[in-house]
């Protein structure tokens, strides 16, 4: 059959391209299908400090390109297209993209994760009009303005710090009474004079007149609600796995992650899940690349027994 | 066709007075999602001669960016006969960008 590969990898982040390097070196025909460009979430950070081998840090976009080049050197092909449907049961698995159909004897799912949205009415409509998910990208449009950061983890803390250098005032809204962010963030945040904390609180509404004009926050302890006028809301409340495509075919847990243990095997034979989409305790680049090597091992075992 | 870098000076001629539909990409070098979209937009320029593809660097052209009300990048605008007919923010795959057009 035309367009048939030993291994089709969906997603070209670190997990996808590491799987590709190992599978291609094992002399399998390998196709990576990536809808945007290589690197995945890594592209959103210009300074990765905890990927071994780069004592001065490394730009995520560059690292993604290098991973792609490394995989292509051993014969991996890349298709830039969005996967819009899959049929994973059966010996030959069908992958439908915006640019045609492809067939894999095995499939590695490496679709990673995206920003979690608050899920408030009007949130989607206001993206680019005061609602933002990337402080590094959009912070400069709020120079001298007042913004809120919603969230309490590392990325919310990092966003609040970054924005405090650009904006007049930053209001950090978190639903608990203390931040979940690592200690390293606490004292710089406390020191920043223009950062105000609104704790034990959730955002109940984004107020707007075509563009964002404020938020309504609700204190979970007192039940009190109040409006805060501001120009922008940066939402930094974690990630959601990109697994909508696979619902109904693969076992997925209550949070949307594909259920697979350290072997990366899913409940469907010949289908593997690697990186941030998989159930696992730590979602980082090093753990994503680790999964890639493991998946290739079990792909090899699977294809040998076909 | 190659991608045209648009600034305040050539904006009127290249975008407003264009006889082809125009896709304008507002971007910056330090924005990850912009860097993801950039090669896709280049590919569209190559494959679709009927579309004029323009890029605006928001660092250099803050005035154009604020004229378009850009508050998030990458921002894509479709302009036909001088009027914005569609727009989107964030990194989109090629098929979805083509749908905007
Ligand atoms: C701002 C930020 C900073 C970070 N900093 C660090 C850090 O310093 N150190 C660290 O170790 N980790 C960091 N992380 C986490 C790290 O980036 C992720 O753990 C890692 O990228 C996960 O890799 P992945 O390959 O599983 O998924 P992703 O990187 O999410 O890649 C998934 C890829 O799949 C593609 N895709 C999704 N759906 C489809 C589809 N339907 N069709 C085709 N392609 C599709 C996506 O476009 C994407 O390129 C950071 C994350 C973010 C967001």
List, for residues B64-85, the tens digit of each pLDDT value.
Answer: 999 999 999 999 999 999 999 9
pLDDT at A284 over 80: yes
Q: Give chain B's domain count.
A: 1
**Min Cα–Cα distance to chain B from A209, Å:** 14
Q: Which residues of A touch B65 (CB under 8 A)?
A: 141
The arithmetic mean of pLDDT across residues A212-224, rounded, is 97
CATH of the domain at A252: 3.50.50.60
Find the A60 Cα to ligand 1 centroid distance in Å: 10
Q: 3-state DSSP: chain B helix, strand, coil percent, rounded to 5?
A: 35, 25, 40
Q: Compute the C-alpha angle A49/A55/A61, nearest 5°.
A: 50
Residue A124 has what pLDDT? Answer: 92
pTM: predicted TM-score of the whole model, two decimal places: 0.91
Residue A174 has what pLDDT? Answer: 97
- Domain containing A184 equals 117-235
Q: Which residues of A touch B43 (CB under 8 A)?
A: 80
Residue A254 and residue A160 share a domain: no
Residue A177 and residue A218 share a domain: yes
The arithmetic mean of pLDDT across residues A107-115, rounded, is 97
Find the A12 Cα to ligand 1 centroid distance in Å: 9
User: Which residues of A form the catalytic set?
Assistant: 134, 137-138
A47 — pLDDT class (breaks 50, 70, 90): confident
CB contact under 8 A, B32 and A137: yes
Count of CB atoms situated within 10 Å of the CB of A95? 26
Q: E strands along chain A, which residues? A: 4-10, 30-34, 77-80, 83-87, 93-97, 100-109, 113-115, 131-132, 146-150, 169-173, 195-198, 201-209, 211-219, 225-229, 232-235, 239-241, 271-273
Measured from CB, residues less than 6 Å from any atom of ligand 1 are A 10-16, 33-36, 40-42, 44-45, 48-51, 82-83, 110-113, 242, 245, 275-276, 283-286, 288
Residue A127 and residue A153 share a domain: yes
Residue A213 and residue A256 share a domain: no
What is the dihedral sign for C-alpha A159, B88, A109, A252?
positive
Residue A87 and residue A163 share a domain: no
- Provide the 8-state DSSP code for A194: T
Residue B18 has what pLDDT? Answer: 96
Could you tell me which residues come within 8 angstroms of residue A55 by beta carbon, excluding any fewer than 6 positions away? none
Place of tokens 């990109």: A242
Residue A108 and residue A248 share a domain: yes
pLDDT at A9 over 90: yes
Could you tell me which residues come within 8 angstroms of residue A209 by beta carbon, excluding any fewer than 6 positions away? none
CB contact under 8 A, B36 and A43: yes
Residue A137 has what pLDDT? Answer: 87
The answer, yes or no, to whether the previous bond of B74 is cis (omega within 30 of 0) is yes
- Best mutation target among A35, A84, A230 (most B Cβ atoms within 10 Å) is A35
Place of tokens 């979690």: A116
Instruction: In whole angstroms, give the CA distance from residue A154 to residue A251.
Output: 30
CB contact under 8 A, A137 and B39: no
Residue A132 and residue A88 share a domain: no
**A83 in contact with chain B, both atoms CB, cutoff 8 A:** no
CB contact under 8 A, B33 and A43: yes
Residue A249 has what pLDDT? Answer: 96
Hey, whose CA ends up nearest to atom 49 of ligand 1? A40
Instruction: In whole angstroms, give the CA distance from residue A25 to residue A160.
Output: 43
- Provide the 8-state DSSP code for A189: H
- CB nearest to A37's CB, from B36, B71, B72: B36
Residue A246 and residue A110 share a domain: yes
Identify the domain boundary among A216, A235, A254: A235
Residue A46 has what pLDDT? Answer: 84
Nearest to A275 by CA among A266, A284, A267: A284
- CB nearest to A128's CB, from B34, B43, B72: B72
- CB nearest to A127's CB, from B65, B70, B89: B89
Q: Count CA within 13 A, CB hemisphere, residue A86.
A: 25
Identify the domain boundary among A210, A235, A260: A235
Could you tell me which residues come within 8 angstroms of residue B13 by beta carbon, excluding any fewer than 6 positions away? none
Q: Tell me the residues of chain A between 24 and 63 that have a Cβ less than 8 Å away from chain B.
A: 35-37, 39, 43-46, 60-61
High-pLDDT (> 90) share of chain A, %: 93
- Provide the 8-state DSSP code for A44: G
CATH of the domain at B36: 3.40.30.10
CB contact under 8 A, A137 and B72: yes
A161 within 8 A of A188, measured Cβ to Cβ: yes
- CB nearest to A43's CB, from B35, B58, B96: B35
Q: Compute the C-alpha angle A125/B70/A157, nearest 5°.
A: 75
Residue A91 and residue A69 share a domain: yes
**Min Cα–Cα distance to chain B from A45, Å:** 7
Instruction: In whole angstroms, give the CA distance from residue A16 to residue A186.
Output: 34
Instruction: In whole angstroms, give the CA distance from residue A76 to residue A16.
Output: 11
Exposure string of A52-63, with b = 16+ CB inside 10 Å and e = fewer, is: eeeeeebbbbbb
Spot the catalytic one: B22, B31, B53, B91. Answer: B31
Residue A30 and residue A176 share a domain: no
- Domain containing B35 equals 4-100
The best mutation among A18, A41, A51, A239 to test binding of ligand 1, ranked by most ligand atoms within 8 Å of the C-beta, falls on A41
The arithmetic mean of pLDDT across residues A276-281, rounded, is 96
A280 within 8 A of A287, measured Cβ to Cβ: yes
Average pLDDT over all residues of chain B: 95
CB contact under 8 A, A80 and B36: no
Q: Give chain A's domain count.
A: 2
Q: Compute the C-alpha angle A255/A258/A261, nearest 5°.
A: 115
Q: Does ipTM top 0.90?
A: no
């Amino acid at each position: 059959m035309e367009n048939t590969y030993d291994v089709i990898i969906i997603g070209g982040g670190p997990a996808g391209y590491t799987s590709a390097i190992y599978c291609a070196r094992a002399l399998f025909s390998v196709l990576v299908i990536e809808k945007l460009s290589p690197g995945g979430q890594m592209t959103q950070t210009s300074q990765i400090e905890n990927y071994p081998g780069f004592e001065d840090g490394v730009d995520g976009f560059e690292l993604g390109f290098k991973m792609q080049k490394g995989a292509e050197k051993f014969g991996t092909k890349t298709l830039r297209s969005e996967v819009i449907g899959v049929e994973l049961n059966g010996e030959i698995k069908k992958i439908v993209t915006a640019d045609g159909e492809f067939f894999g004897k095995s499939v590695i799912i490496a679709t990673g994760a995206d920003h979690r949205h608050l899920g408030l009415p009007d949130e989607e409509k206001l993206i680019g009009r005061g609602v933002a998910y990337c402080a590094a990208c959009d912070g400069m449009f709020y120079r001298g303005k007042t913004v809120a950061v919603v969230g309490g983890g590392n990325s919310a803390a990092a966003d609040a710090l970054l924005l405090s250098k650009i904006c007049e005032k930053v209001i950090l809204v978190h639903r608990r009474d203390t931040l979940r962010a690592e200690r390293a963030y606490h004292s710089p945040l406390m020191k920043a004079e223009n950062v105000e904390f609104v704790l034990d609180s959730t955002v109940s509404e984004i107020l707007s007149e075509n563009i964002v004009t404020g938020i309504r926050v609700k204190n979970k302890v007192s039940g009190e609600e109040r409006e805060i006028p501001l120009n922008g809301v940066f939402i930094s409340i974690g990630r959601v796995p990109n697994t909508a495509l696979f619902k109904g075919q693969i076992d997925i847990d209550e949070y949307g992650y594909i259920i697979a243990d350290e072997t990366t095997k899913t409940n469907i034979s010949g289908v593997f899940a690697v990186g941030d989409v998989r159930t696992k305790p730590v979602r980082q680049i090093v753990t994503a690349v680790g999964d890639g090597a493991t998946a290739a091992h079990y792909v090899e075992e699977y294809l040998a027994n076909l | 066709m190659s991608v045209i870098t648009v600034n305040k000076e050539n904006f009127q001629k290249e975008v407003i007075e264009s006889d082809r539909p125009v896709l304008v990409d507002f971007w910056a070098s330090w924005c990850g999602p912009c860097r993801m979209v950039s090669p896709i937009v280049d590919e569209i320029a190559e494959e679709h001669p009927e579309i004029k593809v323009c890029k605006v660097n928001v660092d250099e052209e803050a005035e154009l960016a604020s004229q378009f009300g850009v508050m998030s990048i990458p921002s894509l605008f479709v302009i036909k006969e001088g009027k914005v007919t569609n727009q989107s923010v964030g990194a989109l795959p090629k098929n979805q960008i083509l749908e905007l057009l």
